[in-house]
Amino acid sequence: MSILIQQVHKYYHNLHALSEIDFNIPQGCFFGLLGPNGAGKSTLINIIAGLVYATQGTISVMGHDVRQQWRQARQSLGVVPQELVYDPFFTVNELLRLQSGYFGLGRRNQPWIKELLEILDLSDKTKVTMGHLSGGMKRRALIAQALVHKPPIIVLDEPTAGVDVELRQMIWAFSKRLHQEGHTIILTTHYLEEAETLCEQIAILDQGKMIALDTTHALLGRYPYRMLKLNLTTQNIKIPSTLAEKVQSLTQNELILKLHREHDPIGAILETLRDAGIHFTDLHTEEPNLEDVFISLTHREKS
Ligand SMILES: Nc1ncnc2c1ncn2[C@@H]1O[C@H](COP(=O)(O)OP(=O)(O)OP(=O)(O)O)[C@@H](O)[C@H]1O
Ligand SMILES: [Mg+2]
């Protein structure tokens, strides 16, 4: 296991920001940490990173307790925080050289830094001070900073929030590559499609509690509904009473029914529609996505 989280609680004064968090993240896993605003994701990540102390419970990173063996734990982690924290007077080059020195890496780390700068498209920004970079460029520099020591575990707290399409795709491609090379990746995001595509395992936090922890595949399988979409040719249709509860939306041209995977066989549904004189030119089904699962678990729209 790369990270062991045992019975962690966090209080900010009276606010119980994390409650009884207890799970492990296997080595080499692409792990998603999801949840609405204020769920406690960044708090948990900051505790893992040693930036915030848990009120109770223990966390170990690659076998090192984050409090007792802070240095060793920190060595295994590369953290890109949600908030862009930087010294505006350092150039990109100075930032990376300093971080490299912090981990005791000298000139021999130069080839990796050069590669990082190329991958992140920062090669022509090395002499620019952080304060003079655009928001997206700052994020790139902070990603480079987090990866200077090639840590086995990479933590990305909402890396794609507010970035342009190009940078988002670059972050996806780079994190996929790092995962393929064996790094453990922990990602928080509000883009559920992103989590669905990238993550092998997902934990969902809500109001400081863990409400789901599973493989992405199993999590999607938990949602027992799918949508049946019909392009109507009949106008002003009257929905049969047996289907009324299943109607998700109805317009002049389209009827969408929410069907239970086991209890609502499509053949029988289509027969009921035909008997009611409802005709259509085309139909297709839509399988649930992570957004459906997320909403059903947190009982709210994604935020
Ligand atoms: N330093 C702090 N002092 C007091 N309360 C805090 C502090 N940091 C976070 N909180 C509170 O703890 C709760 C969890 O916050 P956290 O930032 O961990 O949520 P999050 O899941 O990362 O949310 P978001 O999706 O908005 O980033 C929130 O209610 C927040 O207001
Ligand atoms: Mg956060």
> What tens digit of pLDDT does each residue of 166-186 get?
999 999 999 999 999 999 999
Residues 69 and 147 placed together within one structural domain of the fold: yes
What pLDDT, on a 0 to 100 scale, did the predictor assign at position 107? 82
Q: To the nearest whole percent, how much of the chain has pLDDT over 90?
A: 85
**Has residue 301 got a pLDDT over 80?**
no
Residue of the nearest CA to atom 29 in ligand 1?
38
Probe ligand 1: pick from 15, 79, 210, max atoms within 8 Å of CB?
15
Q: Does residue 246 lie in a domain region? A: yes
How do residues 42-88 score in pLDDT, each as one tens digit?
A: 999 999 999 999 999 999 999 999 999 999 999 999 999 999 888 99
Q: DSSP strand E in 108-217: where?
A: 153-157, 184-188, 201-206, 209-215
Mean pLDDT of all residues in 258-277 = 93
Of 197, 220, 243, the position where a domain reaches its end is: 220
Q: Does residue 184 lie in a domain region? A: yes
Q: Which residues line ligand 1 (CB under 6 A)?
A: 12, 15, 17, 35, 37-43, 82
**How far is 85 from 217, CA to CA, in rounded Å?**
35
**How far is 188 from 51, CA to CA, in rounded Å?**
17
Residues 76 and 214 placed together within one structural domain of the fold: yes
Local confidence band at 243 (pLDDT 50, 70, 90 cut-offs): very high
Residue 143 near residue 171 (C-beta atoms within 8 A): yes
How many helices (H) and strands (E) in the chain? Answer: 10, 14
Q: Does residue 31 lie in a domain region? A: yes
Please report, for the domain that includes residue 245, its CATH number. 3.30.70
**Has residue 214 got a pLDDT over 90?**
yes
**How far is 107 from 91, CA to CA, in rounded Å?**
18
Residue of the nearest CA to atom 31 in ligand 1?
38
Local confidence band at 31 (pLDDT 50, 70, 90 cut-offs): very high
What pLDDT, on a 0 to 100 scale, did the predictor assign at position 197? 94
Mean pLDDT of all residues in 114-138 = 95
Name the domain count of the chain: 2
CA of residue 226 to ligand 1 center, whole Å? 34
Domain that holds residue 245: 224-287
The pTM (predicted TM-score) of the whole model is: 0.88
- φ/ψ of 211, rounded to 5, equals -105, -10
What pLDDT, on a 0 to 100 scale, did the predictor assign at position 302? 45
Residues 179 and 239 placed together within one structural domain of the fold: no
Q: Does residue 179 lie in a domain region? A: yes
What pLDDT, on a 0 to 100 scale, did the predictor assign at position 106? 80
Residue 102 near residue 151 (C-beta atoms within 8 A): no
| Atom number of ligand 1 nearest to Cα 158 | 27
